[in-house]
Amino acid sequence: MRGSKSGLSVIIGVSLLAGSTVGVSAQDEMPAPMRFTGKIAIGPCTGERETIEEEGRTRNIRASTGRYCEPTVVEPFSDPRLQGNYYVWQDNDEYRAGPTVWAIGVSIVTDEGAWRGIPAIHYGQYGAGEHVLVGEGEYDGLTAIAKVDLVGQTWDWEGWIIGGDLPPLPAEPEAIP
């Protein structure tokens, strides 16, 4: 996938999953990974953002945890399990002479279940980077992992739906000072 700026968000997202019970039981057959693509446009968003000027940065924070954005479909996701209502919530810091750092979460809600995004840190373009979404309901035991590019005002998604546990996080070797 073109233009991904950071693997940091995957590291953070997968770190948050380390204690989860995402998996497929021994008697269930592991589903084959399924590739997907799709495009959603930014907004509209509810509520106002609070802007705080601090030394070296500008903080843009949603005024309430009940504030979120509802992106619209530009190109439906190729896997129908990811077609539903999309929700995004985010805050960001803009560093003078430096990056814009985003804290972003994404959820997709369908009639059969939901895909709950692991909030993660991204830098650079709004929403661009890697996203990890854990399945609920009919999607329990599945995880959607995607790289997202921002093209104009559209998020271009490309990823995989996988079954079973994600790789365990490695322990830091004792040899590192």
Instruction: State pLDDT tens for residues 27-47.
Output: 467 889 999 999 999 777 776
**pLDDT tens readout for residues 151-172:** 888 999 999 999 988 888 898 8
Residue-level pLDDT at 139: 96
**Cα distances (Å, whole numbers) of residue 35 to 13, 84, 161, 166:** 20, 18, 6, 16
With a cut of 80, say whether residue 132 has pLDDT above it.
Answer: yes
101/110: higher pLDDT:
110
DSSP at 124: S
Locate the domains of the chain by residue range: 1-17+61-165
- Residue among 147, 122, 123 at smallest CA distance from 133: 147
7 has a pLDDT exceeding 70: no
* d(C-alpha 115, C-alpha 19), whole Å: 17
